[in-house]
Amino acid sequence: MNYRHAFHAGNFADAVKHAALTAVLLYLSRKEAAFAVFDSHAGAGRYDLKGREAKKTGEAAAGVGKLRALKADGALGAWLDLVRGEGEDTYPGSPLIAAKLLRPQDRLIAAEMHPQDAQTLKETLAQFRKARVVEGDGYRMLAANLPPPERRGLVLIDPPFEEDDEFEQMGRAFTNAYRRFATGVYLLWFPLKDVAGAERFMGEVLAAGVTKALRIDFAVEAKEEKLSAAGLLVVNPPFGFFDEMEKNLSVLSPLLGGAAGAAKVSWIVGAE
Ligand X SMILES: C[S@@+](CC[C@H](N)C(=O)[O-])C[C@H]1O[C@@H](n2cnc3c(N)ncnc32)[C@H](O)[C@@H]1O
Does 5 contact ligand X by CB under 6 A?
Answer: yes
Q: How many other CB atoms are there within 10 angstroms of residue 223's CB atom?
A: 6
**Mutual angle of helices 94-101 and 74-85, in 10-degree steps:** 110
Which of the stretches 1-9, 74-82, 221-229, 247-255 binds ligand X when contact is defined by CB under 6 A? 1-9
The Cα–Cα gap between 201 and 166 comes to 10
- The active-site residue, picked from 14, 106, 117, 158, is 158
Query: How many angstroms separate the Cα of 44 from the Cα of each of 48, 178, 230?
Result: 11, 26, 21
By C-beta, is 137 or 194 nearer to ligand X?
Answer: 137
Q: Is 117 a catalytic site residue?
A: no
The contacts of residue 254 (CB under 8 Å, 6+ apart) are none
Strands 153-157, 36-39: pairing is: parallel
- Out of 36, 78, 113, 245, the only residue in the binding site for ligand X (CB under 6 A) is 113
Does 128 contact ligand X by CB under 6 A?
Answer: no
Closest C-alpha among 12, 30, 32 to residue 20: 12
Using CB under 6 A, count the residues that bind ligand X.
21
Does 176 contact ligand X by CB under 6 A?
Answer: no
- Out of 111, 131, 142, 188, the only residue in the binding site for ligand X (CB under 6 A) is 111
By C-beta, is 75 or 113 nearer to ligand X?
Answer: 113
The Cα–Cα gap between 235 and 192 comes to 18
By C-beta, is 45 or 237 nearer to ligand X?
Answer: 45
In terms of phi and psi (left: phi > 0; alpha: psi -120 to 50; beta: otherwise), the region of 74 is left
Does 7 contact ligand X by CB under 6 A?
Answer: no
- Out of 114, 125, 142, 214, the only residue in the binding site for ligand X (CB under 6 A) is 114
Closest C-alpha among 10, 124, 126 to residue 60: 10
The Cα–Cα gap between 128 and 165 comes to 34
Instruction: Give φ, ψ of 193 to 5 degrees.
Output: -90, -50
The contacts of residue 243 (CB under 8 Å, 6+ apart) are none
Site string for ligand X, 137-156 (x = CB under 6 A): xxx-----------------
CB of 142 to ligand X, least distance (A): 10
Site string for ligand X, 202-241 (x = CB under 6 A): ----------------------------------------
The contacts of residue 238 (CB under 8 Å, 6+ apart) are 23, 24, 27, 28, 185
CB of 33 to ligand X, least distance (A): 25
CB of 161 to ligand X, least distance (A): 8
CB of 86 to ligand X, least distance (A): 12
| Residues 23-82, interacting with ligand X (CB under 6 A) | 41-43
CB of 41 to ligand X, least distance (A): 3
Q: Which residues are catalytic?
A: 158
Contacts with ligand X by CB under 6 A lie at 1, 3, 5, 14, 17, 41-43, 93-94, 111-114, 117, 137-139, 158-160
